Amino acid sequence: MKMLKKELSFKQDVVGKLLKGKISRKEAEQSLGCSKRTIVRYVDLVGKGGLAALKDKRRSNNHKLSPKQEKDLVEIKEKGRWRSARKALELTGITIIKPRQVQRIWVKHNLHQENIERLKPIVRFVAPYPNDLWQSDIQGKIHFPFLDDAYLVATIDDHSRFILGGKWFSNQTQMNVFRVWYHCLFQWGLPKKMLQDKGSQYKANARYTQTGEYAQSTFQFYAKALGIDLIFAHRAQTKGKIEKFWRFVQQDFARENMKIKSFEELNKAFFKWQIHYNETFKHSGIGMNGRTPAEAYQPSEKRKPKQELSELLTITIRRLVYRDSTISLFGKRYRIPNEFITCRIWVRIKGETVRVESMGNVVYKFKLRA
C-alpha cells in the first residue's frame, strides 16, 4: 500500500478515533494510506508519548507524492519543456518534495533529454582573414605514466585553425608561453589581434605596481611594443576553437603517445603531428568548407626585420650564481661556469637560447629546458 504524506492534525484525528473505537483498523489504514504494521506502530507511539508523538521527526526528504500530484508535474513539463523543476513546483503548489525528486520523476517519464532552442542564439564568429586573430592558450595538465604531468602551450590562427606553434612543458609559466609566442612571431609574422584568457601568464593580476604604474605581464608588455591588440576572454566558450582543438589533441595525439619518456621525445612527436594536422586534416567548421588549415592559411604580411624583432623580444634579467655554481630561471636550475660563483650576472634570453654576459661579453650559452 502506498504511504501518502498527511498533515499531523489529520493523522492525530484518525488515530484518536481508532483508539476511541469510532473507526476500525481497516478504515484507519485506508484513511492514512498505510499498512497494518504502521497503524500498530502509531498506536504504540501514542501509548508512550501521546498524540504529539505522531510527529514525523525524520529530516530526510522521505515524502511521497500522490498519483495526481505526480501527474500534474508530468503535465506541466509536457506543456512547457523549457520549465525547470523549481518552476514546476511553483506552478503546482507542491511543497513536500525538492526539485531533485521532480527531476527523477521526469527521467522516469522520458521528459529529461531534449535540447530546447535558445531564445538568444549563440553568436559564432570567425576572423575574416588569416592573421586577423590568433588564439593562444594552455591545455591543463595531462599525466604521462613515464613522464609525469605535462602542459601544452599552443597558438592557432582563428581564420584557418592553422597551428602556428605548440610545445609541451613540465609547468605552465609565463616564460613558457612567451617561448611559444616568440617562435610564432619569427616564423609567421605579426597578427593584428590575439585572444587569450585572463590567466596570470597572459595578464597581470594586479592593476598597478608598487610605484603606481599600470601593471603589465611580459606578454602584455611585448604585445604593446609590437602593436598587437589583446582581447581577454571572460569564459572558455569565447575561445571555442582552441578549446575544441584541446579535445582533439587529447583524442588524436596524447592517447597515442602515452608511453613517451622525455619531453624532447614528446615535442618531436608533436611537431610531426602538427605538420600532419596542418596539411591533411580537413575542417568542416565555419568558414573552412572542407579545406585543410594549410590551404586556408598564409603567413602575415605584417612583419618586422628579424634583427629588430630579436632585439625587441630579448628578455634581460640579472641572476645570482649560487655556491653550487647554478642560477635559477623560471623554477629550474642551470649550471654556470665555476668562476662566477656568488657573482651577479646578466642573462639575456632570446627564444630558447640563454646567453650569460660578463663585462659586456658572452661567456656562456645554454638552452632552456621544457
> pLDDT tens digits, residue range 49-85?
888 888 877 665 556 788 889 999 999 999 988 888 9
What does pTM read for this prediction? 0.68
Q: Are 98 and 173 members of one domain?
A: no
305-314, pLDDT tens digit by residue?
Answer: 888 888 888 8
Res. 113 pLDDT band, cuts 50 70 90: low
Cβ count near 94 (within 10 Å): 18
The C-alpha cell at 228 is: 598587437
Residue 120 lies in a domain: no
What's the first-to-final CA gap in the chain, in angstroms?
68
Do 100 and 230 belong together in one domain? no
Q: Which range, 21-25, 93-97, 271-275, 319-323, has the best average confidence (pLDDT)?
A: 271-275
Task: From 91, 108, 125, give the residue that closes a domain.
Answer: 108
| 114: pLDDT strictly greater than 90 | no
Q: Per-residue b/e over 166-176, b at no fewer than 16 CB within 10 Å?
A: bbbbbebbbbb
Between CA 300 and CA 306 the distance in angstroms is 14
- Report yes or no on 126 lying in a domain: no
* φ, ψ at 255 (rounded to 5°): -65, -25
| Parallel/antiparallel/unpaired status of strands 163-169 and 148-157 | antiparallel
- Packed helices 85-92 and 99-108: angle between N→C axes, nearest 10 degrees: 100
| The predicted structure's pLDDT at residue 6 | 57
Average pLDDT over residues 333-362: 88
60 in a domain, yes or no? no
| Assigned C-alpha cell, 309 | 624583432
Number of domains within the chain: 4
pLDDT value at 128 more than 50? yes
Residue 237: partners with Cβ closer than 8 Å, 6 or more residues away: 122, 243
Same-domain status, 172 and 287 = yes
101 and 205 inside one domain: no
CA distance 105 to 107: 5
H-only helix segments in the chain = 8-19, 25-32, 36-49, 67-79, 85-92, 99-108, 174-188, 218-226, 240-252, 263-280, 293-296, 306-312
For residues 95 and 174, membership in a common domain is answered with no
Phi, psi of 275 (to 5 degrees): -65, -45
Most confidently predicted of 59-73, 158-172, 204-218, 293-307? 158-172
Same domain flag for 34 and 180: no
Percentage of residues of the chain with pLDDT beyond 90: 47
Considering the domain architecture, whether residues 153 and 255 belong to the same structural domain is answered as yes
Q: Is residue 266 part of a domain?
A: yes
Determine, yes or no, domain membership for 304.
no
**Alpha helical stretches, state H, 125-202:** 174-188
142 and 46 housed in the same domain: no
Q: Which three cell numbers stand for residue 298?
A: 598564409
173 has a pLDDT exceeding 60:
yes
Q: Which three cell numbers stand for residue 340?
A: 662566477
Rounded to 5 degrees, φ, ψ at 362 are -80, 120
| 309 or 7, higher pLDDT | 309
What's the confidence (pLDDT) of residue 58? Answer: 66
Same domain, 169 and 202: yes
Q: In the prediction, which pLDDT does 269 show?
A: 96
**Are residues 73 and 46 part of one domain?**
no
Q: Enter the DSSP assignment of 284.
A: -
Sequence-distant (≥ 6) Cβ neighbours of residue 164 within 8 angstroms? 134, 155, 156, 157, 184, 187, 188
pLDDT at 210: 67
- Cell numbers standing for residue 31: 484513511
pLDDT in the model for residue 209: 66
| Domain membership of residue 91 as a residue range | 67-108
Pair 46, 159 in one domain = no
What value does the mean pLDDT of the chain take?
88
How far is CA 62 from its chain centroid? 36
139 and 272 co-located in one domain? yes
Question: By the 8 A CB rule, do 168 and 370 touch?
Answer: yes
325 Rama sector, left if φ>0, alpha if ψ -120 to 50, beta otherwise: left
Examine the pLDDT at 196 and tell me if it is beyond 90.
yes
The pLDDT value recorded for residue 228 is 94
Q: Identify whether 191 is part of a domain.
A: yes
